Structure 1
Amino acid sequence: MSMALKVGIVGSCLSNLPTLFLISDYNFVRLNNTALPRSDIFVKNFINGTQTLPNIEEMMRFLDLPADDSNNSFRYLAENYKEYAGLTEISRDLPTFHANLLNSKFDVLLLDNLIDVDMRLYKFSKDGMDFEFGFPMHLAGANNIFNNNLQVTNFLTPEQSADNWISIIEYLKKFQPQAQIIFSATHSCTSDNMPERAARAADFYKIFQEKSKNLDIVLIPPLNLPDELTKGESDWAHFDMKVYRGIAGYIHTLLVAGWTTDAVGAPNRPSRLLGSQSALRQWNASPSLSEVIGRLLDLPAADISENSGMDVTENWDSLKQVEILTGVEAAFNVRFSFEATMETATVGEIRRLLAGHGIAASDDANYVEIIFSNFVQRAVETPDERFAKFIKNNSEKTLTYRDVASDIITLKDALTGVEPGSIVAIILDHSQYIYSSFICCTLLGLIPTMLPPLTRKQDPAVFKDGMEVLFSRITPAAVITTRDLAQHVPRGIELHCVLVDDLVVPSDAWERVQEITPALATKDALAFLQHSSGTTGHKKGVMLTHAQVLEQCRLYANSIKIETGDVICSWLPLYHDMGLITSFVIPAIVGCPIISMDAIEWVTHPTLLLDQIQEEKAAYAWLPNFAFLHIAKFVDGSRWWDLSSIKAVISCSEPCRIDAFDAFAEKLGPMGCDSSKLGTSYAMAENVFAVSQSVFGTPVRMGVGELSPYLSSGQLLPGVEVEIREKTARVPDGQIGEIWIRSSSMFSGYYALPELSAERIVEGWYNTRDLGAFVDNELFVKGRSDDVIIINGKNVVAHEIEDEINRINGLAPGRVLVASRYDSSSSTAELIVLAEPLEDCASDAIETEIRNLVFSLCSVSPRRVRLLPRGFLIKSTSGKISRSKSLEKFEMSEL
């Protein structure tokens, strides 16, 4: 293709070219992009050092060059090149070339080797400092300052130059792995009168072509322009207009030929620099396409339909078309190919164009994005960024996006034959495969569900019985587990069993990452099942769609102001909704590195959480109420932690109590985590997660009267409605009743439990069976209505009594059960207390203390108080005492 034709094509494509980063000659920033010195200086100062971007004006003053030296390349690049080649500005606020590479994502890195074939190395001293830079001798200026005052060395040899450029390209690939590199060997635009430069360029090209053949770059040979094209123009002018526009034309021909079918179409989006020099893609919920186009046309969104388009809708003509498509690209963080933009003329066609990139606008009537689509994009763009740090058995392992994506490819192969829409049970302990298994299933259109593994404190027979009941209801098609845990998996149904012990990552796993590019999901497509802990019966599968999960993520992320790059520190198990959503799903969507600890190890060493917050400068952590007290007990003043990085530690999962916050803030407030950083949330799997959230920055409001032991759970999230009811009637603010919710992220029912779903969801409202009250637009949660025991007309809140009994010396922590049992002889309910004492305790004295305490708290005397052997009471997978199963076991033992 001729040079003139290349230029003509470029002139027609305007902003639809990919975003470029230009790396060219000379020692200063060339306006929108960067210049660099000779390749040897680049390797020395940029790769092996931290050289700052020099200041143009200071350089010109030092060289004693005139303000206007006939060099119009600066103005030309500013006025023309950006328009023709989509050149993207770098930030002068970021002092190093390295920082600018990290701060943005580029489709193309455009390099040329004018430098080495035309520049000698100059060395000089100024103000006691030694400097060196490259500059072409024939452009030294009339005063000949270079020749007279500076030490001049020779040109680089072609071999040295080629080796340097190989190092530079490998360096660039680390920070911009998704970018296509276009390398122009050089040009010799005045070749007729500079034969030495032309010869050096030819020698370099031969050597570099051989050395770079495995680098996956586009190599442009030396461009020898005929004199008639350059006659009458300064070297600067024809250099910019002919060569750079010619290279841009070459790029465009590649685009037209379909070059953007790979990751080159990934959007260019600046990303906030992280403390660890990370550059993860920012997360933003997709906007409404109608609103975006309406804003561009200065029309109400209501006036925009699927048929709105060019020459049909007011203000939308062929000239406006480019602006509209460019605006859509910016709004949805995407880059369209030139061909696609030319074939797109209506809103419906633009929506289909977005769908081809795995993007669904918020006003799409039929489709939503897969919840982990952002994970895939980050894996492609920044594969070596950290996804998680995995801590187990006192060892740490970093999982990069590349690691997790490679595991996903491995699991994809292992799940071959499992039909889309099937349920996959994931039964893993604290394993690195816990993330990749879940993500893999959603990307393949499977429905994962995290189930708890057997722990050493659980009765294996009880565990297996519960699993058999659960498997018979959900009928999973596959299970992902370990060899040890597989023996506890029910045997009565056919299962595609994947043992992670046997997985071997294929050598080409990373090269196959494009295989997991997600498609869109329908609005009603299930993302996963979240099973309840099973404290009050067999586990119930909460059905959650991609749309519901993304809606919750949008609402909650905005509420707590979580940002891409914020580090999440957690020990929470992922089979519980609190851990799954806050410490996996939301961080994966938003782009937050996860610091993941083993829950069992944390219980033994609770200050491990503080160690990691300090080390990783973590921003968020979520804890159940008891964990605040547990951590506070282990902070004895002998150690100090810097917790100043924390934005919030949030209490949820249990009623939030004042004493827990007081104990935590007293110990850790001086270390940077005072009461203003402690938050509360009312959350449940049935709403994906949060219903309400407190405001950070001030202490959480305390309850009064009946609510005096409790903290406010904050204000409702946008789109969430709550009613406090007694039976079916709504009660006034301040009065305690059952909490009913309705929201845009609320579940549609329990899997394979239609009767229970109909019982709990009435006319679009979900009966949580939690007790609470509204006070001045803030929600207070008191406990479960299931925990309310009625004895002789008196209400006894079981968990409140249990909390107080647990304070008695001689009892094992957390091993107390308060319950009622119907006595047929008296036709009344009787109160019983079951507890497990520590060894060598005075049992009679403890029983008496329990009876006296209970009566003092609720004016009801327990009919029975029984001290049981350690381990007798059955705990659920979330660590709570299972009331029904423990009581059933006790009654059987009584018989």
Structure 2
Amino acid sequence: MTDTLLVPTPNNDDQPQRLADFRTFGEAIDYAAMGKKGMNFHDARGNLARVYPFSELREDALVAARRLIAKGIAPGDRIALIAETGPEFAALFCGAVYAGAWPVPLPLPTSFGGKENYIEQLVVQLQSSDPKVLFYPAEIGELTGAAAARQGCEGQSWEDFARSEAPDCILPESKPDDICYLQYSSGSTRFPHGVAVTHEALLNNLGGHSHGMKLGPDDRCISWLPWYHDMGLVGCFLSMIANQISVDYLKTEDFARRPLAWLDMISRNPGNSCSYSPTFGYDICARRISSQTNVAERFDLSRWRIAGNGADMIRPDVMQSFVNAFADAGFKASAFLPSYGLAEATLAVTLMPPGEGIRVELVEEERLSGCKRDLSRPARYRAIVNCGKAVKDMDLEIRGEKGQALADHHIGKVWCRGPSVMHSYFRDPEATAECLVDGWLDTGDMGYMVDGYLFIVGRAKDMIIINGKNHWPQDIEWAVEQLPGFNHGDIAAFSVESENGEEVPAVLVHCRVSDPEERVRLHTTIRDKVRSITGMNCVVELVPPRTLPRTSSGKLSRAKAKKLYLSGEIEPFRLLQAA
């Protein structure tokens, strides 16, 4: 079937739009299926390959539900699914919901980490979620089958599952406070936990962010985000159903190879485009545009209404580079919509009101470090991005070390409370009790409020505390990234204990320089740069490219980088001389 024979699902139809005002997600699927909108899957070059209306999704999901029940799956059983972007996963996820089971999206293999690391990651999540069966695409059956066998659960390709019997049966009736699915956090700062999300929590958050973004019937989503991460799963898959929005999908691995195909797809949308990305997605696209490229001829980004940004610290310099690269294609900086969220709150906690763009505050170092500035040194500032206001029904509070609420402009721990905060961590009451207190969720992030707007400073557990002074790893990493030849994600900063027992900052840096003398010069340059930021000597290690570990969602994992470095599993390059 060729692209010319396919007609994508429409941006608008005659069905009245409902913004996630359903009792259960099954009801949301039923309503979406009554219209003409749906999903549209694209190939590696961004060409339309499969049109999948919500009506067809519902039919396939009901068949999948009957097959699951025929396999003996009961309400409350976990169904693990490798989250490949495609109709098979979508139908199985929704089918599990219809059957009353809890779908558990798990990651695909990535280009980093190796086969054994991937199997181990799956085994950990399978042990935690204890599913009855793991479904997967046949092409990765060797890896996923090994993980299922190691855990002792059944493994089945969805091709084989599609050939199984689907006898008629009565489907269980879900209630709003039933668990809808388990979402695994990316594991960037702690051991991955299965976040249990109820139907009520899911729909409250989907309604909250759709109202916050002012989603309308003419909006269309374009996404390359993975479906095992909360922003991809909740924001660009489940939300499309609950808010009846047509969506175009590019697989994550295809975006990695051809990032500009994402912008080609946005350009082809005749209506309003809504598309989300972490900072690195915008960074990759801006870097791929050469000075010879006529962006105005290739792209039309003038109808990109919401260019969402979240899932990681937002870099205003990178966002400005994107504006500079694509302004001639009609992209408007006001389209940027910063946000803040986490799986434990289902997805969104705050959203910038549409049209306000990226707003920053310059914050002096002494406010960030908690220490008085050395007056012999000039004042240093960091640009902190405004992540917007709380979504509908969400309460926010900034708390100090003793748990007291702090006033505006005071940095502390970010806490939130609302109907979309998670039910619990699955089978982990201790971890649940650690972060859920009287209905309030300790997000683990540091920030401050100003007139109802939230500013995020960084992860509390990532903070480097040396001699009573706080150093944010992002500041060190961003400073080194400004040196020529480095990309976003090439640097990991954390603290280590020196030979004399004192804590010092350590910086691991991807090194693409092969000449030994050039490496020594690079090492010295980085050391001097970090000293200018921290005011102290540091450990600098040059490591081979692609060495620094990532989470399943592609974010740098500082905690794992530190662990691998201290255990000797990350081997730095040896230098000719002590620098």
Distance 1:716 1:517, change over 3 A: farther
Distance 1:797 1:654 in 2: 14
Asked if the contact 1:874/1:882 (under 8 Å) is kept, the reply is yes
Q: Per the alignment, in what secondary structure is the counterpart of residue 338 of structure 2?
A: strand
**Larger gyration radius, structure 1 or structure 2:** 1
Distance 1:276 1:577 in 2: 24
Distance 2:356 2:398 in 1: 26
Higher strand share: 2
Distance 1:588 1:729, change over 3 A: same
Distance 1:892 1:284, change over 3 A: closer
Partner residue of 2:508? 834
Partner residue of 1:531? 184
Correspondences of 1:27-426 after superposition (within 5 Å): 278-284=13-19, 286=21, 369-379=23-33, 381-382=34-35, 385-394=36-45, 395=47, 396-415=49-68, 416=70, 417-426=72-81
Distance 1:870 1:285 in 2: 44
Partner residue of 2:222? 569
TM, length-normalised to structure 1: 0.56
Give the unaligned 5+ runs of structure 1.
Answer: 1-273, 287-367
Partner residue of 1:696? 354
Deviation of 1:560 after TM superposition, in Å, equals: 1.1
Does 2:249 align with 1:601? no
Asked if the contact 2:32/2:55 (under 8 Å) is kept, the reply is no
Aligned length: 531
Distance 1:540 1:732, change over 3 A: same
Partner residue of 1:467? 122
Distance 2:61 2:484 in 1: 50
Asked if the contact 1:372/1:443 (under 8 Å) is kept, the reply is yes
Deviation of 1:572 after TM superposition, in Å, equals: 0.5
Correspondences of 1:652-671 after superposition (within 5 Å): 652-671=310-329
Partner residue of 1:741? 416
- Which of 443, 448, 451 in structure 1 is aligned with 2:106? 451
Distance 2:169 2:258 in 1: 38
Asked if the contact 2:62/2:98 (under 8 Å) is kept, the reply is no
Identity of aligned residues (%): 24
Asked if the contact 2:282/2:319 (under 8 Å) is kept, the reply is yes
Distance 1:428 1:795, change over 3 A: same
Distance 2:448 2:533 in 1: 22
Deviation of 1:597 after TM superposition, in Å, equals: 0.6
Partner residue of 2:294? 638
Distance 1:758 1:773 in 2: 24
Distance 2:63 2:277 in 1: 33
Asked if the contact 1:536/1:882 (under 8 Å) is kept, the reply is yes
Distance 1:276 1:795, change over 3 A: closer
Partner residue of 2:483? 808
Partner residue of 1:794? 469
Q: Per the alignment, in what secondary structure is the counterpart of residue 814 of structure 1?
A: coil
Does 2:557 align with 1:882? yes
Distance 1:625 1:661 in 2: 7
Deviation of 1:465 after TM superposition, in Å, equals: 2.1
Partner residue of 1:844? 520
Partner residue of 1:545? 198
The one-letter amino acid paired with 1:390 is F
Q: Per the alignment, in what secondary structure is the counterpart of residue 608 of structure 1?
A: helix
Asked if the contact 1:543/1:749 (under 8 Å) is kept, the reply is yes
TM, length-normalised to structure 2: 0.85
Deviation of 1:403 after TM superposition, in Å, equals: 3.6
Partner residue of 2:134? 479
Q: Per the alignment, in what secondary structure is the counterpart of residue 548 of structure 1?
A: helix
Distance 1:281 1:494 in 2: 47
Deviation of 1:528 after TM superposition, in Å, equals: 0.6
Distance 1:502 1:839 in 2: 48
Partner residue of 2:344? 686
Q: Which whole-Å deviations, capped at 9, do the CAs of 1:719-752 have from their partners, x for residues lacking one?
A: 2111112212222211211111111211122111
The one-letter amino acid paired with 1:633 is R
Deviation of 1:545 after TM superposition, in Å, equals: 0.2
Partner residue of 2:389? 715
RMSD, aligned α-carbons: 2.5
Distance 1:378 1:516 in 2: 23
Partner residue of 1:80? none
Q: Which whole-Å deviations, capped at 9, do the CAs of 1:540-591 have from their partners, x for residues lacking one?
A: 1111100111111222211111124521001100111111111101111111
Q: Which whole-Å deviations, capped at 9, do the CAs of 1:499-527 have from their partners, x for residues lacking one?
A: 12335479x99xx9xx7997653242101
Asked if the contact 1:572/1:599 (under 8 Å) is kept, the reply is yes
Q: Which whole-Å deviations, capped at 9, do the CAs of 1:740-774 have from their partners, x for residues lacking one?
A: 11112111221111111111112221111111111
Partner residue of 2:368? none
The one-letter amino acid paired with 1:580 is L
Q: Which of 1 and 2 has higher RCO (CA within 8 Å, sep 6+)?
A: 2
